[in-house]
Every structure is written in structure tokens, then in C-alpha cells.
Structure 1
């Protein structure tokens, strides 16, 4: 693997040069960025996938929606549609993509969810809604420089932090580590719940944040229950029985580790996988003798295609290791300040 990386380094240098020039052009105003009057928070990463953007976005929804009219805008990766779509009762994963459909399914009573690869047009359309959103969350938009977000949340996964990585294709970074300077806060995700203060300090030193840039540590918290269309059962109970574990996410190992027991069938697919009819038939056959337990994101694509009473999903949440008060205060202060400023103008 190291030899292959060395062979790919020249291509990484070229790719890094292109992205660096692009960022300089945006920073200098040669390429234009649109800034909107409403608070816009962009959630994303420097690397490709697997940093926990979905639970972090859901955390922000839970934090902000009791206080503000929140809208979430995503590109809608993997959807079978184009252009701007505002989620409604006719929406599904093929229309929106699995992650936006998950946001809509869970929070449709409290927020608006839309998809558009052109984030400028997407925000422009959201601002035509009545009532107008008070705050817009941009999912997976750290590199989308055509919109100038008011606040950037940069995610990096524990054990795979961007400070130790290379630019594509030798590594997994979409742009150089210098891109971290745009972040208001950095969240190290998927940490062990008991990560020590000493290890946190060591990671902060490797990240070398800018002055005033806060670093937070979060872990994945699994629900105590697994859910199907019509019933629930405890995660402990379903863990104890033979089952089919299905995951089509970037890094499924923690999901497997949490539920796997000897005798389970494990089916792994690529991230955002669009299940074929052959694969669905195989899962239907397996579900005749074992329940299927999948991730919440995969459930959005499997629901309605395999027996609903045999299909369960395990929700996850993002939880801050040292408590969430400081993070919450940082986000709420930004939104309150930006909202107040927009009213003055």
C-alpha cells in the first residue's frame, strides 16, 4: 500500500495544485461566492466519506429546530433525480438520496429538507418558502465554495484525522490540510467514549488549530432499540439471535462490532449502494430464517423492498465526549448574532 501511495504522489501533487489555485481564486474574490442574509452552517470534511456527517447534521437539527425555522439543503448523493426538489409526502430515497430522505423521515414535522447540486439555487429557492427559514444547514458542503457559509463545521474521524492524510489519489483528502482554516470548529468524530484528556491534547497538537478555532470530540451513541415498520425490540435481544447484518456505508465496522454474534450473516455493500433486484432477492431469501438488521441510512433504501416485519434498523446519534454545552453555545451564538445582524440590514 505504501509503495502504491508513493507511485500516486505525483498525481496528488497535481490535484493538490488545482484545488489550491481554486481556493486562492475564491479567497481573493476572482471566483465569486454568494453570501446570504440568513445564517448558513456548512457541515463537511476534508476527506472522502466516513466522518459522521449525518449524525452531526441531525445533532444540529435537534439543537436548532426547537428555536428556529430550520431548512436542510443537500446535494442528494445517489438520487435518481436532478435539480431542486423540496421533500414532501411523495418523497423517497430515489428522489432525494438516502441521507436527505432520512432527515425528512425523522424531522419532517419540524424542518424543511431540499436537495440541489447547485447550492446557490437551492438556498435561493428555500428563501422563497413561507415562512422563510431562519437558518440553513448545508450537508456535505465544505468544498462548495460558490456559497459563502457563515459558519463551517469540519469533521475528521478519530484514527483517520486529516493531519495524517494525503491528497487524492495517494490519500483520501479532497483538498490540502490548509482547507481546515475555513472551519469555525473542528469535531473529531467516532472517538472512544472514554478517550483520555491526554489523547485529546495529543490530537489537538497534531491538528494544530488556528487561533480561536475550537476542537471538540464526539463519539457514536447507539440506540437501545432497533426499529421496524411496525414494531421495536431491544438491541440486546436482537443481538442475541442469529440475524443478517446489512451495511452499505463508508465504514461499517463499528456497526458490525456493536451487533455481531457468531452465526450471523454479514452482507457488506459500497457506500450509498443502490441494491439490485438480485441482491434484494437474496436478502428476501435470507430473511425467511433470520431478521435483517441494517443501518438507518440503508433502511431508507431497503424499506418496501424486503419483508417489513423482518427488516430492522439501528439508529445512531452523535454525542460529545466532554459534554455539549460549549459546542451548543458556539452554534447558538453564531445563529443569534447572524439573525440579529440580518434584521438590522
Structure 2
């Protein structure tokens, strides 16, 4: 199964299919059929929402959607966490709405990183229902209009601390394809390192929607910008601007410290691995970025071992 997954990914990002192996080329007809079927379903679903056959709901607070056009590794979850912390710093209690798929590891990470603050994390496929549960529990504050409108479903006996807990904004994690909820701001994350591959729809290519879906975006963010050549960044921005004139921002990921597994609150300086043999394990969406990021920090080339759902990097002694 892992070999098949890797083959599909290699096909999706191949620049010239003629250079693919016989095994890879044998998969292309099946992937092409599945991709065409996926495109038809995608178009039908979009039409049903646009025509009003399927209802779109609006939450009573501003909604920020963070999504992408390709599979994994676009930096959605770190961006969601960043926005949540920014809102919290401004005195707004945000509610993160996430599906919590694949075991919910990303949702658990968000809960761990944001523990003790005003940020709330709602997990569930039906995000409208999940949001309503949190509104019933904490109440909400709607500041979109000229007047501050407040409402709470809570009994008055709960106490005055409720005003500090009222939800003031919602953040949709992986929300671009979630048509049932209206949003006030659509942020599209773009993996600058992997980009759009062969520009085909899943599973023949990495696209979850055609590139023209960028027309729905309000902001584009190119992730892993520090690992991409400046000219390529200019080319990416040019492609975006040809579809829609958008503000484009750039982000990067950088390790800040180590921590002990037994006590995640214990932080150690990056120099703690000086002259040590290090085993790095990655199971994130874009492990290539992880590999290059580690090489950039330690100025070493790592040996890479591919395992089911994870990458293991092994090197000799790290000299810093």
C-alpha cells in the first residue's frame, strides 16, 4: 500500500509522464478515470450550493477560513494556530472548527498548544452543529456591525466571568472545500515547495479543486517560502495574480527548541544535540520540507528512510 501511495504522489508531481516507470504509467488510466469522476462530483456539488439547492449557513460571528487547493503540507494548521493566538492577543476568544480526521492528531496538537488560553477547539464533521454547541455553552459576541451585539444562551447564575469566554470569531481549519458555512475571509495556503504538481485533479494530480478556485480567495499565503528560490516565488505570485489580484504573503517554519517527551513543558536549546547522533521522525503532510528544514538548520545531508505514514531521517554526529 505504501508503494502505491508513493507511486500516486510521484505521478501527481511528475513533470514528464514519459519518464515514469512502466508501473507508474499502468496506473495513469485508472487515476485519470477517478480524477474525471471526482471532477464531475465536485462540479455538481458546487452547482448545488450556488443554486441554493444545498443551504449555506452563516454563523453569528466573523468566520475566517484557512484552506488549500492541494493535498497536505500547506501549513494550514500552523496558520490556524497563528491566527487564533493573534485574535486572543487582541482580546477576542476564537473558536477553531476542525473535522479532526486521521485520528484527530492535529486537533489534539492545537488543544495542547493553546491550552490555558481563551481559544476553544471544536471537533466534528458537522461544523455548524459543533459551533452551535459552543455558542450554547459560552455565548458569543458579534462585532461585525457598527454596534456591538451580544448574546448568551447561558443562565444568568453562571457568573460574570462568562463575558471573558464569549466567542468572538470562528476559524475553519481546512475550510476551503467546506461550502455549507459562509465565511468573511478566505485564506488559501500554498505549498511553495511542492506547488500544484501536474495541475490535475485528485487522484491523478494533487489538486482538490481547479486552480480557478483561487477566485474565491481573499488572501494567498505561500508556505515554506524560505526553501524556495526567489524566482520561483515570483512565478508563483504571477500565476496567482493572473487568476485574481490577491495580497500574497510568505511564511516559513523554523525549529525553536527541543522538549522532553516525558515533559513537553521542558524546553531545550537547539544546541543540545551538539555532537550527538540524531534520529528525526516526521509524519507531517510535507516531509520533504521537514528534511530540507533540518538540513538547513544543521548544514548536513540526512539519510532518509521511508516508512508507512512517516519519514525517518538518520545522520551521523551533528557538529554545530
Q: TM-score normalized by structure 1?
A: 0.66
Look up the match of 1:277.
Answer: none
Look up the match of 2:210.
Answer: 176
Query: Radius of gyration: which is bigger?
Result: 2
For residue 134 of structure 1, give the secondary structure of its aligned residue in structure 2: strand
Question: Shift of residue 159 of structure 1?
Answer: 3.3
Look up the match of 2:121.
Answer: 113
Question: Shift of residue 33 of structure 1?
Answer: 0.8
Question: Shift of residue 177 of structure 1?
Answer: 1.9
Q: Go from structure 1 to structure 2 and tell me whether the alpha carbon gap of 1:163 and 1:244 turns closer, same or farther (over 3 Å shift).
A: closer
RMSD: 2.8
Look up the match of 2:51.
Answer: 28
Instruction: Please list the CA deviations of residues 179-235 of structure 1 after superposition, one character each: whole Å capped at 9, or x if unmatched.
Output: 222211111111126853x54332122224555522222222221x21114433222
**In the comparison of the two structures, how many residue pairs are matched?**
255
Instruction: Please list the CA deviations of residues 158-194 of structure 1 after superposition, one character each: whole Å capped at 9, or x if unmatched.
Output: 1332385210121011222222222111111111268
Look up the match of 1:42.
Answer: 65
Distance 1:249 1:257 in 2: 13
Look up the match of 1:139.
Answer: 173
Provide runs of 4+ in structure 1 moved above 6 Å.
Answer: 262-265
Question: Shift of residue 143 of structure 1?
Answer: 0.7
Look up the match of 1:74.
Answer: 98
8 Å CA contact 1:44, 1:155 repeated in 2? yes
Look up the match of 2:82.
Answer: 59
- 1:206 and 2:239 correspond: yes
Q: How does 1:90-169 map to 2 (within 5 A)?
A: 97-110=104-117, 111-130=119-138, 131-162=165-196, 165-169=199-203
Which range moves more in the overlay, 249-258 or 36-45? 249-258
List alignment gaps of at least 5 residues for structure 1. Answer: 80-96, 274-282, 284-289, 291-345
Look up the match of 2:38.
Answer: 15
For residue 222 of structure 1, give the secondary structure of its aligned residue in structure 2: coil
For residue 245 of structure 1, give the secondary structure of its aligned residue in structure 2: strand
For residue 109 of structure 1, give the secondary structure of its aligned residue in structure 2: coil
Question: Shift of residue 155 of structure 1?
Answer: 0.9
Instruction: Please list the CA deviations of residues 4-43 of structure 1 after superposition, one character each: whole Å capped at 9, or x if unmatched.
Output: 5752323322211220121122122221110112011111
Instruction: Please list the CA deviations of residues 279-328 of structure 1 after superposition, one character each: whole Å capped at 9, or x if unmatched.
Output: xxxx9xxxxxx9xxxxxxxxxxxxxxxxxxxxxxxxxxxxxxxxxxxxxx
Look up the match of 1:280.
Answer: none
Q: How does 1:143-292 map to 2 (within 5 A)?
A: 143-162=177-196, 165-192=199-226, 195-196=229-230, 198-208=231-241, 210-223=243-256, 225-228=257-260, 229-230=262-263, 231-238=266-273, 240-259=275-294, 268-270=307-309
Distance 1:189 1:18 in 2: 29
List alignment gaps of at least 5 residues for structure 2. Answer: 1-10, 12-16, 18-24, 139-164
Instruction: Please list the CA deviations of residues 81-113 of structure 1 after superposition, one character each: whole Å capped at 9, or x if unmatched.
Output: xxxxxxxxxxxxxxxx11111111111222111
Instruction: Please list the CA deviations of residues 105-124 of structure 1 after superposition, one character each: whole Å capped at 9, or x if unmatched.
Output: 11122211120111111111
Q: Go from structure 1 to structure 2 and tell me whether the alpha carbon gap of 1:258 and 1:189 turns closer, same or farther (over 3 Å shift).
A: closer
For residue 252 of structure 2, give the secondary structure of its aligned residue in structure 1: strand
Q: Go from structure 1 to structure 2 and tell me whether the alpha carbon gap of 1:209 and 1:124 turns closer, same or farther (over 3 Å shift).
A: farther
Question: Shift of residue 78 of structure 1?
Answer: 2.4
